[in-house]
Chain A
Amino acid sequence: MKKSNIYFLLGIGIVLMIFIVFIYGIYFASNPRDIPSSQIGKKAFEIHTVTFDGQPITLRQYLGKPIILNFWASWCATCWKEAHILEAAHQEYTPQGAVFIGIAINDEREASLRFIKKYNKTYILAPDDKTGNISLDYGVTAVPETFLIDKKGVIQNKILGAIHDDIIDQFLSKELKL
């Protein structure tokens, strides 16, 4: 092959590569699900809210206990799927020292209460405030999203989408040394 043809093909190749990277960046590399949370390994933000049954809660009061912090909404179909998983895990692990907290975001209070009743959710459940400060603090991108916080109050993992019981089992077995 002639030298000029090699240069020509090289130029075309570079331009094509830039174009592909550009298209990939715009349409395929911006899915929040593909981006790891920047909060993993960092101290969990403090929470100040009042539960649906009127109890004020903060994370500080649970320091020394592993926390499963779940963000949900009554309008989210995936939250229906994981509702029984979280409730079952709560029934199993709360007596052993774990804490389960559910924060409803962008939801009507009445709808949240109906959801809680429908799925017999009995762990700590509270709404986010009107500005959604709690979900913003945790960098929530969609519901459901679950944060696994260790006994020192450090975020160990974030699960986007429905949580599976084996993830909870693995985390709490380690934290509670079962």
Chain B
Amino acid sequence: MMTSFKSCLVIFSSLLLFSINFLYAQSESEIENRVRTLANQLRCPTCQSQSVKDSDAGLSLNMKIKIRDLIQKGQSDAEVLDYFVKRYGEWILRSPPKSGFNLLLWIMPGIIMLIATLVLLRSLKQKSRTVDAIGKPSLSKAEDLEISRRFNNVFKNK
């Protein structure tokens, strides 16, 4: 009786330990994923054209530690980004926020590309129309046949 109780206790403790370990590892990997995602959205302050995630500069490493720290304190992704925006300005974000004047930055390239494509298409269409006009036969089929017949007669007579 005592032996089976001890076995049960060992199994229960092992399962409990395993569950705790599993949950801890899962939450750790979740935090790590969030750190990576947020670090990818922030610009390395020391380097050029590099994200905090891809940079090994001292300040970028500090920023990664800070992101983890803020997440562990229960801050949302928006709050973490806001922390850095308050200190570095919007420049620290790799993508400008989609609101206010910045919205124009997001929309304008699309509008400009659309206009440019339309202008290009229109000009190409006009060009092809010009080619058609030149390439169009100005004589009728009967006239064409008549010319061929006359040419043939000229060569035959020679």
B2 within 8 A of A: no
Number of A interface residues at 8 Å Cβ cutoff, please give it.
Answer: 35
For B116, the chain A residues whose CB sits under 8 A away are 11, 14-15, 18
A136–B66 contact, CB under 8 A?
yes
- The docked-state distance in angstroms from the alpha carbon of A69 to that of B112 is 46
Number of B interface residues at 8 Å Cβ cutoff, please give it.
Answer: 34
A106–B126 contact, CB under 8 A?
no
B43–A39 contact, CB under 8 A?
no
A178 within 8 A of B: no
User: Which of these, A32, A130, A137, contacts B46 with CB under 8 Å?
Assistant: A32
For B130, the chain A residues whose CB sits under 8 A away are 4
- The docked-state distance in angstroms from the alpha carbon of A31 to that of B149 is 77
A140 within 8 A of B: yes
For A132, the chain B residues whose CB sits under 8 A away are 58-59, 62, 65-66
- The docked-state distance in angstroms from the alpha carbon of A138 to that of B88 is 8
User: Which of these, B66, B87, B115, B123, contacts A8 with CB under 8 Å?
Assistant: B123
For A142, the chain B residues whose CB sits under 8 A away are 45-46, 59
- The docked-state distance in angstroms from the alpha carbon of A93 to that of B105 is 47
B112–A131 contact, CB under 8 A?
no
A136–B63 contact, CB under 8 A?
yes
B58–A106 contact, CB under 8 A?
yes
Q: Which residue of B lies closest to A4 (CB)?
A: B126
In the complex where A14-B115, A27-B49 touch, is A38 in contact with B123 (Cβ < 8 A)? Answer: no
Closest Cβ–Cβ distance, residue B109 to chain A (whole Å): 6
Q: Which residue of A lies closest to B69 (CB)?
A: A131
A139–B126 contact, CB under 8 A?
no
B106 within 8 A of A: no
In the complex where A14-B119, A141-B59 touch, is A4 in contact with B46 (Cβ < 8 A)? Answer: no
Closest Cβ–Cβ distance, residue A38 to chain B (whole Å): 3
For A38, the chain B residues whose CB sits under 8 A away are 87-91
Contact string, A145-167, partner B, CB cutoff 8 A, digits 1/0?
Answer: 00000000000000000000000
- The docked-state distance in angstroms from the alpha carbon of A105 to that of B46 is 13
- The docked-state distance in angstroms from the alpha carbon of A32 to that of B117 is 35
What would 7 A/B residue contacts be, using CB atoms closer than 8 Å?
A8-B119, A15-B113, A30-B49, A131-B62, A136-B59, A136-B84, A141-B59
